[in-house]
Amino acid sequence: MTTIYDAITFAAHAHRNQRRKNADAIPYINHPLSVMRRVSQVCSDPDILSAAVLHDVVEDCNVTSLELEKRFGAKVARYVDEVTDNKSLPKLERKRLQIVNAPGKSHGGKLIKLADKTDNIYSIYEAPPLWTPSRQLKYIDWCTEVVVALGPVDLALMEQFEFARNLALSKVDAQVKAEMESVTPMDDEFVLDEC
């Protein structure tokens, strides 16, 4: 249990200056904590839970895999490496590789990836990023591709993903509908003047 608490403390420190990209600028650490909570509902392995809360520290903070290995052990570092994007690659390539590499992840890596995508999609419903509805839909679609590529992972966690996806889609659909209703039709006179 000490490893999990140490991982939480480490992640909180690593993410201390980061905020989510939404209107409320929620502290970033809420996301890794939520990912860990989701994983803990279906798994009690302390290495997987530690990796879940640490899953973004290599990708988004000034932390190395070697540092994680020395502090938390090789298994935790491997799980984090499995779900870490190579930031030296272009964004579209990183996104493509998440789909391509999804089936080959370990069970622990798949649990973390599924919980991560679930939490990211749920945030579109709960505290949406400052993105257009179109961009939100594209993100939901891409996350769905990643999750489908993971293959069977855990039924309960997959149900959480589907629930979050449906909530996010309904929220984005409502935004699109509101935008369409706020557009005023052009006056007939204006249209005639243009002819």
Q: Is the pTM of this model over 0.85?
A: yes
Domains of the chain from N-terminus onward? 2-183 (1.10.3210.10)
44 within 8 A of 89, measured Cβ to Cβ: no
123 within 8 A of 22, measured Cβ to Cβ: yes
Per-residue pLDDT of the chain (195 residues; tens, 9 = 90+): 568 999 999 999 999 999 988 878 889 999 999 999 999 999 999 999 999 999 999 999 989 999 999 999 999 999 999 999 999 999 999 999 999 999 999 999 999 999 999 999 999 999 888 889 989 999 999 999 999 999 999 999 999 999 999 999 999 988 877 777 776 555 445 444 443
Distance (Å, rounded) from C-alpha 7 to C-alpha 80?
12
Active-site amino acid positions: 59-60
